[in-house]
Amino acid sequence: MAHFDLDKLSSTPMYICEESILEKNLLLMQRIQNESGAKIILALKGFAMWSTFDLVGKYLQGCTASGLHEAKLAREIMNKEVHTYSPAFKDDEIDEIARISDDIVFNSPTQFHRYYERVKTINPNITVSLRVNPEYSSSPVDLYNPCGVFSRLGTTIDNFDASIVSKLDGLNFHALCEQNVDALEGVLAAFEEKFAHYIDQMKYVNFGGGHHITRVDYDVDRLIEVIRAFKARHNNITVYLEPGEAVGWQTGYLVASVLDIMHNGMNLAILDTSAEAHMPDTLAMPYRAMVRNSGEAGEKAYTYRLGGNTCLAGDIMGDYSFDMPLNIGDKIVFEDQIHYTFVKNTTFNGIKLPALALLTKESKLNVIHEFGYEDYKNRLS
Ligand SMILES: *Cc1c(COP(=O)(O)O)cnc(C)c1O
């Protein structure tokens, strides 16, 4: 693993992705592809650090995009398979999407009827798929449950239009969020039961994302078995997985600095980052980010509430304890902040976006992109 002394960082906040860990994640996915026969593509929604796409493209088959901008990035930078899905495509974007995609996924029969001929005329080689809703999910939170009640994501069996089946190359579902293979098995059973009629008329089935493949307790061997068995049941049909989070999982961190220490009933530390702007899932999911060398409140000698440098009262990372008192200038390292962070960042309150850096296999820190005032200004008018 690479080593770098974070105290030497000249500027914070900064996301640092470790190339060696990213490659380790990709190697595991390569093994899954080799042993199961599935194809894995990167969901840009969760991880879009395109300076790493040469490396990602060495192991994965391409990208899955949720609309025009992600599709353009996938085509421009990785230039392997581009699969594009959107809850709804638009008249002024569909032609370019058709030109640059290898596969297009419609969310509803209405969208299929609206755009199928147009897309095929522009790109006769494009494959066409429908996202279905298997109406089964054990997703842990409603915010991230694509199969919740009244979900707009995918077509239920009741809304399925059998008249389009002969024109479809594939079916997609996406129903998981940070889950193990047992959850996939549940979804797969529901999917096969509901759509049994149609699966064998397809060239491929896409199992979506949410497979927490690179988490230490993920049952990789079982996943390989499940995919192999599915392929065996369905004439060796092509299977795709499109993880986002699992690619970026635990590949790096967000480094911030302590700007001030206060006391108001408890110790408070103000950092040069923001939960709201730079770690949004800590508030939305919500979850508690791990901080390097810290414990729960009260566990170590000195407890602080860590807060962001915005004027939002709730811009708080949580209460953490340390062996030594914090001092102004100390670095605070939030672990595992590479997926679903910079893809969601905002310039709320004008706070500076964290720089993006890659720690190479040779332990060289490559600061790839620094942000400033122009990034804030250019998003406003
Ligand atoms: C979000 C999403 C993914 C990736 O999900 P992860 O949880 O990041 O693996 C894949 N496919 C679709 C359709 C998605 O919406």
Rounded mean pLDDT, 242-265: 98
Copy the structure tokens of residue 112.
């299929």
Q: Residue with the nearest Cα to atom 3 of ligand 1?
A: 209
pLDDT in tens, 85-125: 999 999 999 999 999 999 999 999 999 999 999 999 999 99
Q: Is the pTM of this model over 0.95?
A: yes
pLDDT of residue 1 exceeding 70, the answer is no
Q: What is the pLDDT of residue 10?
A: 86
Q: Residue with the nearest Cα to atom 5 of ligand 1?
A: 209
Ligand 1 pocket, mutate which of 40, 42, 45 (most atoms under 8 A from CB): 45
Tell me how far the alpha carbon of residue 222 lies from the centroid of ligand 1, in angstroms: 21
Q: Which of 47-51, 89-93, 141-145, 188-192 has the lowest average pLDDT?
A: 141-145
62 three-class SS: strand
Find, among 342, 348, 377, the residue nearest to 51 by Cα.
342
Backbone angles phi, psi at 333, to 5 degrees: -110, 110
Residue 123 Cα to chain centre, angstroms: 28
Q: What is the pLDDT of residue 141?
A: 82
Torsion of CA 79, 81, 87, 91, to 10 degrees: 60
User: Residue 246: CB within 6 Å of ligand 1?
Assistant: yes
Other CB atoms within 10 A of residue 328 CB: 11
DSSP 240-286: EE--SHHHHTTSEEEEEEEEEEEESSSEEEEESS-HHHH-HHHHHTT
User: Residue 154: CB within 6 Å of ligand 1?
Assistant: no
Q: Residue with the nearest Cα to atom 2 of ligand 1?
A: 209
User: Residue 131: CB within 6 Å of ligand 1?
Assistant: no
Find, among 88, 89, 85, the residue nearest to 103 by Cα.
85
Tell me how far the alpha carbon of residue 137 lies from the centroid of ligand 1, in angstroms: 14
Find, among 293, 322, 283, the residue nearest to 305 by Cα.
322
| Beta partners for residue 261, in sequence order | 269
Please name each of the domains of the chain with its CATH number: 6-16+252-337+345-377 (2.40.37.10), 37-248 (3.20.20.10)
More confidently predicted of 213 and 1:
213
